[in-house]
Structure 1
């Protein structure tokens, strides 16, 4: 037991758990979530799941003077996408390809093998250029899977979802930018789509463990803390952009195991919370502690 510092969670996880979380694609999201809860409540917040008990919730909110609440942390994250994006970040922002005489941008899907693409792209892009397929105009929608060039269809099958290029400038050397597939869409907020996403995400069988662990606490307060990522649908991810101040217009449709909800577009977007006694709010404007 460490000395209680308001706003700072107490971490009782095993060192191996902490190391594994810190080394993950997104970092230690459980710790980040616990920090948010601690700052909002000012209460002792404990990262308690050390694998010593079955169905132990990730976080305990040890309220002073009343029974504790519990929180379970989950991420809307496709592991294959995260692995690919991580590999791109580590290895292949640029691949030197002086023989191309052009600068290319190649966007890869979650299923793409980055190492293989890194070895073969220069040759394949050279063949595209020789065939006159330069993708000089960057289009937002490219149906590469139905292109007339069979090599482009083959590239699509191996995970290439977008292509663009330009001629080199001056003494610039040809190279290839490799990018992970991201998310995008129209500007504006669609709260109906937002509401539907929450209901579908929490009801998905993949969240069965979240619901079971919260139900097992038999507590009055059972929080689900959801992290959104670049593979979250655009109309949901975009609603948590920091440029917005609007709040959702409807109460979320929650399964009975969940009484409180948090959504965080992690790590750069805003965090929103829904409590049954106060509705939707942005914790950033209601911190109890630093």
Structure 2
């Protein structure tokens, strides 16, 4: 899309085709475009994805308001590279047929797990547990497997397994193993203080110095940070933005001085919420200016 192709609700993307393809192949997909689309729909203004690597330290996105000076926005995600790699490996081949087993097994692995060496021996190990009458039908607390008197369980812990449970198959099911990365579960409750604490710590951390510097150097009155919170990071904060919940936080975020506005999106399917100093917390989806 060029400058002449402006459509309200859609960002103008000035990046090269190579940059777009690279971002689309990443763990989080083209999150920069997704963020720009949200901002464009919410504001109805001309929104440009402007950082094409042609100028050092250029802010990612520019919002060109019709009635006031432009605002700038930096897009950043709290991605753990090790977890991202594990997540991709697990969900690429999550379900393993296991014809020698008699049950459905749920296996949670840590980011230290070596799946290439674990998968070939996993069915045999679980078969030994079944033969010994060890079914783990109740999910055990984290760390309990490592303290087990069962040698097979301790060996599985050594291979990176942190949680195991199983159930009998339904009449229309075949025995199988389902793999999950650690960090996709936790308390099923909304915890706004956890979200606020995570957001404050994340934006103020040394690793976000470049984000803060790029916003500060724009000299703009409005300096937005658009933050992605992926699955597997900070469960209580992530789950608070699950789409089963509504509502908004009841306390303001503590932002670094370089950031005046903040957006938070639980990727890829959770809610996006935003905080503006003159409006407080809001749900952009309830205030779309355009389609």
Instruction: Assess, with a 3 A threshold, how the Cα gap between structure 1 residues 142 and 11 changes in structure 2: closer, same or farther.
Output: same
Deviation for aligned residue 1:55: 0.8
In the TM superposition, 1:1-290 aligns within 5 A as 1-91=3-93, 93-139=94-140, 141=142, 143-168=144-169, 173-290=174-291
| Residues 73 and 224, structure 2, Cα contact 8 Å, conserved in 1 | yes
Q: Unmatched 5+ residue regions in structure 1?
A: none
Instruction: Assess, with a 3 A threshold, how the Cα gap between structure 1 residues 279 and 142 changes in structure 2: closer, same or farther.
Output: same
Deviation for aligned residue 1:32: 0.5
Deviation for aligned residue 1:63: 1.6
User: What is the distance in 2 between the residues matched to 1:47 and 1:171?
Assistant: 50
Instruction: Assess, with a 3 A threshold, how the Cα gap between structure 1 residues 127 and 281 changes in structure 2: closer, same or farther.
Output: same
Instruction: Assess, with a 3 A threshold, how the Cα gap between structure 1 residues 270 and 167 changes in structure 2: closer, same or farther.
Output: closer
TM-score by length of 2: 0.91
Report the 3-state secondary structure (helix = DSSP H, G, I; strand = E; otherwise coil) of the residue aligned with 1:232.
coil
User: What is the distance in 2 between the residues matched to 1:19 and 1:197?
Assistant: 30
| Residues 183 and 233, structure 2, Cα contact 8 Å, conserved in 1 | no
Deviation for aligned residue 1:258: 0.3
Deviation for aligned residue 1:34: 0.2
Deviation for aligned residue 1:9: 0.3
Deviation for aligned residue 1:257: 0.7
User: What is the distance in 1 between the residues matched to 2:137 and 2:177?
Assistant: 14
Instruction: Assess, with a 3 A threshold, how the Cα gap between structure 1 residues 187 and 167 changes in structure 2: closer, same or farther.
Output: closer
Q: Deviations over 1:261-280 (max 9, x none)?
A: 00111221111111111111
Bigger mean CA offset, 169-178 vs 251-260: 169-178
| Residues 108 and 180, structure 1, Cα contact 8 Å, conserved in 2 | yes
Aligned residues: 289
Instruction: Assess, with a 3 A threshold, how the Cα gap between structure 1 residues 166 and 195 changes in structure 2: closer, same or farther.
Output: closer
Q: Deviations over 1:222-258 (max 9, x none)?
A: 1000111222323211221223332111111000110
Report the 3-state secondary structure (helix = DSSP H, G, I; strand = E; otherwise coil) of the residue aligned with 2:197.
helix
Deviation for aligned residue 1:13: 0.9
